[in-house]
Amino acid sequence: MCGHRRNAYSLVEVMAVLVLIVIIGAVAVPTLGGFFGNTRQRAAVDTVKARIADARGRALRDGIPYRLAISQDKTKIRVAPDGPDFDSMAAEPTSTPQSKVTEDSLDKVTAEVPHDSSSHPTNTFSASWVTVATFLPDGTCREDHAVVEIREGTHAPIQIQLRGLTGATKTTSGGSGP
């Protein structure tokens, strides 16, 4: 008999296959990271924009000012009637159209009012929350304009710009970076 049958692979063949798997993995992992990208950051932008709309709608509905604020640790956003008890009012666990106070935690992202922003309002009532905007019963905002930056890891920050007169928002990517 000329040829004999092999029952296994040589060590060189196994190593060659492992090297190919490692190379393919090294190419695929960054691609998958780019595919998912800044999804948490974009979800936080959507949450902040929804809370802006909620605050404005509640002010119009209830006929009292509503404040939108970010916690000092930059991980929560709160909507509640504006006043001295803003930070002591209990938040409801889930937001409904009838909710007076809502508070959202941001997942692995931070939100802040940039310090170089001319829109940084003064906080007259709370040491634990930074006011972004206060919506008045006529639908306008006490602040002329406000800016919120959403940051996640090494991704470029996303800015939400709020126009005080109309309550309209504009989202822009980029900025100064971390």
- Put simply, whether the predicted model's pTM sits higher than 0.85 gets the answer no
Asked if residue 51 belongs to a domain, the reply is yes
Q: The domain spanning residue 48 has which CATH number?
A: 3.55.40.10
d(C-alpha 40, C-alpha 33), whole Å: 13
Asked if residue 92 belongs to a domain, the reply is yes
Q: Are strands 158-163 and 169-173 parallel, antiparallel or unpaired?
A: antiparallel
Asked if residue 6 belongs to a domain, the reply is no
User: Which residues constitute the domain of residue 168?
Assistant: 39-173
d(C-alpha 156, C-alpha 96), whole Å: 32
Please name the residues in contact with 43: beta carbons below 8 A apart, sequence gap of 6 or more. 107
Beta bridge partners of 131: 69
pLDDT tens per residue across span 102-146: 898 988 888 988 875 544 454 445 678 999 999 999 988 888 888
Between vectors from CA 39 to CA 33 and to CA 42, what angle results, nearest 5°? 145
Tokens matching residue 89: 């009012």
Residue 119: what pLDDT? 46
Total domains present in the chain: 1
d(C-alpha 153, C-alpha 125), whole Å: 31
pLDDT tens per residue across span 46-79: 999 989 999 999 999 999 999 999 999 999 999 9
Asked if residue 60 belongs to a domain, the reply is yes
